[in-house]
Every structure is written in C-alpha cells, then in structure tokens.
Amino acid sequence: MNTKSSENTFPSVKEMEQAYKKSDASYDGIFYLAVKSTGIFCRPSCSARKPLPKNVEYFPSAREAVFAGYRPCKRCRPLEAHGTPPEWVSKLLKTIEENPTARYNDAFLRSIKIDPARARRYFFKNYNMTFQAYCRGRRLGISFEQIKNGKDLDDVALGYGYQSHSGFRDAFVKTFGTPPGKSKEKDCIVTAWIESPMGPLIAAATSKGICLLEFSDRRMLDAQFTTLRKIFKCPVIPGTNNHIEQLKKELKDYFSGRLKHFIVPLIFPGSEFQQKVWNELLNIPHGKTISYEDMAIKVGVPKGQRAVGHANGLNRIAIVIPCHRVVNKNGNLGGYGGGLWRKQKLLQLEKGIHNL
C-alpha cells in the first residue's frame, strides 16, 4: 500500500480487498488497485479477472498509481473518468441541496445505509473537508448570501439550522472572520464540483467572477486554493453562485462542440508578467495553437519561453483560459497540469474531432 496515504482518508486493506473482489463501483474514486504482476492499475469496479491479494498495491489516486510506474487498465480506463461521483454520493449531495439547513449526522447516514467513515473519507479526498464540514460550510454559505442580500439576521440565524444567535455568530465568525452583522461588504470563495467528459472539475468563484477551474486530480490543487485564500483574503466554502451556474452551462456547450468562446466573468489576479501571459492565452482562437516561443514574443520576452511555460502552469482557470493551446515549437504537446491525455483531447475537440 502507498504509505503516504493518511489513515483517516484511506480504507483498510481488508475493506479495499472486499470492494475490488465484488467490483464495488461505490469505491470508484476512493482508491485504485495496481497489480504488481501485470504493471496495470484499475478502478475497484473493473470487471477484469481478480488478482491475488499478494499481488495488489493500493493508491488513493490514479495520479499516484501512474507516478509509481503502473499503466492504466484498457478495460476500466481509470484515467478517463466520466466525472460522475458514485451513486451514493450523488444522492447524498442531492439531499443536502434540497434541504441544506438540516443537520446530517452519523445516525442519519446510517439510516440511509451509508457508512459514516466512507462518507468522511470521500468528502475529505474530493472536497478537502469532512462530510460534516461540508454540510456546515453549505449552511453558512447560504446564510452569508442571505445576509448580503439584506435578509433579517434573526431569520437567517434561526432559519439555517442554528438553535441560538450565539451559536450562529460563533460559527459565522470562525468561517468568515467577521460577525454576521458586519458581513454585508465581505466576500467569500464558493466552490462546486462540475462533471465533465474528462473527469471531475473543481470550480471556484467570488462575487466578481470565476477564479479557479481545475481538474480534481491536479497535483497543484491544494496550492492553488492556498494562493486564492492569500489573494482574496476570504474563506473558501462549498456552494454556488450565478457565475458558477453560468460556467456549468458554458462548459456543457463547450464539451458538446457548440461553444467556442466563453463569456463567463473571470477574475485572475497575478504578477504583471502572469497577467500578460494569461491575457494573451485568451487571445488564442478556438481550434488554434501557438508555440511557447511565439507566446514569449507576444508578451515582450523573446527568449522567455521558460518563464512563459511557468506562468502557463500557474494558470488557475483551465479550459476557459486556454493554456492547453500552447505547444512546443516542433508541434509536440509539451506539459499540461491536467495530464497530456486531456490536453490532446481538448485540442481534438476544438478541431472538431468529437471523441469524448
């Protein structure tokens, strides 16, 4: 087993062994199994012949299995995620959205036949917070928007699952750093999961626009959120807003081949040079590519290909700010934080090769 995995976010070996032997799809995305004798790694739900336990190694992500030298299975295709959470997660998220003010404790999870430990692991892995923290953040995020929109503080405190004003105030201050009565001018970063044909995306937005869009398995994701907190000086909570809802619609049209130009508002602060590079990326036409060398010339540093590549890699808004359209001078794809297979598919999509 990968020893870097946290005990609190990784199932036991016995549990994972039972899951893959049963081809249990509810564990897809929670762990991957790699077969030492074949050098291949799979999803738990893979229908291939089950390997002997002594030949199996476990990883919390496809990325880590790849870095360990394993090849993706051609049958279950663990790198080509469909972006859909397991059915039990989808139902749970739907329940929370239908009634975000409710208290969802371990007893509730057990009543709908969900193991609290599994929920805790899944939410920590995919949302970087426990299930309870997700629910709490969802309640507070909605209350924050209600207060900004002028709703009476008493109604918000008692209407969003809090038994007292003091309890609501303490939770609010802990999350937003300011009392609820003084929060109307404050902002927050709301985050949402977006399904895509190339795997799950994590989107984040302030009241001014989209500030992050990354594939959920990108290695830099944690660092990107740390940067956002420093830049905007506000908390990150689960939720949505008009910008995220607009982004979801535009991405759906983009992946279907109907959209060639995003119009959702963006906000992407950075250094003067980073801003030049990112704005130049927005000028690359749909279906076209540009070399790092040509990009360097356009931003005024003819010998600055490496600097351009670094700024490209720090782009926080994938696809919409199309860093995937920058390639090597010889036409090779070069690097891409979301994985070269995704870069290739994005370029094929934009050239009209709809094989997603």
Give yes or no: residues 27 and 58 share one domain.
yes
| pLDDT tens track for 97-148 | 788 777 788 999 999 888 888 888 888 776 667 888 788 777 766 666 655 5
Give yes or no: residues 121 and 95 share one domain.
yes
Q: Which of these three, 182, 202, 227, is where a domain ends?
A: 182
Instruction: Tell me the angle at which helices 272-281 and 305-313 cross, rounded to the nearest 10 degrees.
Output: 80
Instruction: Tell me how many domains the chain contains.
Output: 3
Active-site annotation, residues: 323
| pLDDT tens track for 267-281 | 999 999 999 999 999
Distance separating alpha carbons of residues 37 and 132, to the nearest angstrom: 40
Distance separating alpha carbons of residues 202 and 280, to the nearest angstrom: 24
Q: Is residue 125 part of a domain?
A: yes
Give yes or no: residues 63 and 20 share one domain.
yes
Q: Is residue 308 part of a domain?
A: no
Give yes or no: residues 91 and 178 share one domain.
yes
Give yes or no: residues 196 and 165 share one domain.
no
Give yes or no: residues 120 and 96 share one domain.
yes
Give yes or no: residues 198 and 129 share one domain.
no
Please state whether the predicted TM-score (pTM) of the whole model is above 0.85. no
The boundaries of the domain holding residue 135 are 87-182
Q: Is residue 32 part of a domain?
A: yes
At residue 266, the 3 state secondary structure works out as: strand
Give yes or no: residues 219 and 178 share one domain.
no
| pLDDT tens track for 49-89 | 899 999 999 988 877 887 777 888 888 888 765 556 678 88
Distance separating alpha carbons of residues 226 and 236, to the nearest angstrom: 10
| pLDDT tens track for 162-180 | 555 555 556 555 655 555 5
Q: Is residue 95 part of a domain?
A: yes
Q: Is residue 201 part of a domain?
A: yes
Q: Is residue 320 part of a domain?
A: no
CATH label of the domain that carries residue 25: 3.40.10.10
